[in-house]
Structure 1
């Protein structure tokens, strides 16, 4: 039996979503990998969502960004976002650490205001990205039970 590479596993996880959502996720992840060439990408195929975090050292607790894929949309998370200055009021969330931006599509990552927030988040990160680290993709967990990855059909009244 051939074992799947981490890339093949992630591709299979993304295939569970609608083609439109999977396309936004794939393009967003490609942009983040290009922007963060020294990150360790940590993948969690969780109950609620598929989460791909970007950490400077492979520790989830030191992660700076993540992309979460839900049945109807993709979200960019700032994992240390609570202290992030947000003059334009882009960040959503009220938790004790994380803030997020729901992405219209992958071009959200190209907006000047989002790029500025990301640059600030990297400067403020508790552990900086290290140029000596080579990008790596790591599948961290796969939940046995998961919510449907595609929107449920709307029932006619």
Structure 2
């Protein structure tokens, strides 16, 4: 049995994700460009709304998500504990998942976050190729 978080209903440009991203909540506005970046990683990226937030998959295996809260937005990674994070952006102490918090008025190391997003995608493609 796979230990990956899989969603058979993931598909390109899911309408529920489109509706979430179109929301005007200020922290959704912060999260939106990061999810748009996730969408561009490859032709095998699929998406769905899971637990109320946009979740991106490689084929059907979840690798990243965004969410918006009153004080911050989060960019999360389902296998984030395994990702290289040389500048220390990732937060969380769980067995597998990690996230980056984005706050108004706080600078974000955008290059490092882009690297994390790319690494999460490559990592999940590798896991799928290995048959996890």
1:6-155 pair list within 5 angstroms: 6-7=14-15, 9-13=16-20, 18=25, 20-44=26-50, 46=51, 50-58=52-60, 62-104=61-103, 108=108, 111-125=110-124, 126-127=127-128
* TM-score normalised to structure 2 length: 0.66
Give the match's secondary structure for 1:82: helix
Aligned to 2:5: none
For the aligned residue pairs, the C-alpha RMSD in angstroms reads 2.9
Q: Mark the CA change 1:37 to 1:104 in structure 2 (over 3 Å): closer, same or farther.
A: farther
Shift of 1:94: 0.1
In 1, distance between residues paired with 2:100 and 2:47? 19
Distance in 1 (alpha carbons) for counterparts of 2:111 and 2:33: 18
Change in 2 beyond 3 A, CA 1:17/1:71: farther
Q: Could you tell me how far 1:12 is from its partner in structure 2?
A: 4.5
- 1:67: how far off? 0.9
**Structure 1 unaligned runs (5+)?**
129-157
Task: Please tell me whether the aligned partners of residues 76 and 100 of structure 2 are also in contact (alpha carbons under 8 angstroms).
Answer: yes
SS state of the match for residue 40, structure 2? helix
Q: Structure 1-normalised TM-score?
A: 0.58
Q: Please give the alpha-carbon distance, in whole angstroms, between the structure 2 residues aligned to 1:23 and 1:89.
A: 24
The alignment of Structure 1 onto Structure 2 pairs a total of residues equal to 113
Greater Rg by CA: 1
Structure 2: gaps (5+ residues): 1-12
Partner of 2:4: none
Residues 1:37 and 1:83: Cα distance change in structure 2 (over 3 Å): same
